[in-house]
Amino acid sequence: MQSIIVSKNEANQRLDKLLAKYLNKAPKSFLYKMLRKKNITLNGKKADGSEKLSECDEIKLFLADETIEKFSEVSVDEVEEEIEIIYEDENILLINKEVGMLSQKAEQTDISLVECIISYMLKSNQLTKEELRSFKPSICNRLDRNTSGLVVAGKTLIGLQTMAQLFKDRTIDKYYHCIVKGKVEHQQRIEGYLYKDEKTNKVSITDCHVEGADPIATEYVPLKSNGTYTLLQVKLITGKTHQIRAHLQSIGHPIIGDHKYGNRSVNEQMKKQFSLENQLLHAYSLRFPELEGACSNLSGKEFIAARPTIFEKIVNTMF
């Protein structure tokens, strides 16, 4: 027999969901059969799996250790890559993601920011491999592989849930810096519709709605211009795949270094002059709204991530 005491990160979910994490190789039919036969109990009573768990609830598994071991697998991909932490508290991490790092795995063999976060928490004794059975820290927003800047991660369930809700409700303000082709003179809000082609992983922008397209809105303010290129601050109103890159390209101001939506001759010139291999798009700033509860310490705060060295070099050379 083994006993599980529900932790803070395991509370507020259904019993069957937690059991599926602990016994992650067991068929659902097995879990429900064990519940019916009272081989799995909740607080000493029969349960059907639909019960919502509270912190300190006790789950007893009247199963042989061999059975539990057979149906349990804790997979941990520890990595050596370092992450640049901008801010950290009990519930969240703010990370300045470098160019080339995946936000999340695309393939099983990939190393992503998620693995780096878990490894960091394991090494700093903020997390144990046993705790990974039922809860894994994760990111709450994603950036393209070759976009740098601020990514928010939840270290606890409440942190993950709170931050995810902010992004879903669009109550957290997200600002990007980028350098675009052409002279931009005025602040503007642009709107349209974005359609993603799943086969090519490329999006297109239209002025009117087409089937499968989502409405988008982007605001930008010119910060510096030399007449040929402009440094923009962009506020992301909606957050769709490749939105900033495609939206700016659609109005004649592609981001330099962008090989998917950019201008080929400009990109070749920038590669030759600065050895630039990626788009100059950086998630520069996050501004939090007024918050209550566990993350209230973040209310009204702004966090800034320094732009990459090559970005700074190009800004200082061109403007």
Active site residues: 144
Strand, coil or helix: 251: coil
Environment class of 207 (CB within 10 Å of its CB; exposed 0-12, middle 13-18, buried 19+)? exposed
The DSSP-derived string for 107-168 is STT--BHHHHHHHHHHHTTS--TTGGGT---EESS---TT-EEEEEEESSHHHHHHHHHHHH
Q: Rounded to whole angstroms, what are the CA distances from 196 to 58, 135, 241, 281? A: 46, 32, 8, 20
Sequence-distant (6+) residues with CB within 8 A of 107 are none
Q: Residue 116: what are its φ and ψ, rounded to 5°?
A: -65, -40
Sequence-distant (6+) residues with CB within 8 A of 80 are 119
Beta bridge partners of 303: 286
Structure tokens at 131: 């705790």
Q: Residue 170: what are its φ and ψ, rounded to 5°?
A: 60, 35
Environment class of 119 (CB within 10 Å of its CB; exposed 0-12, middle 13-18, buried 19+)? buried
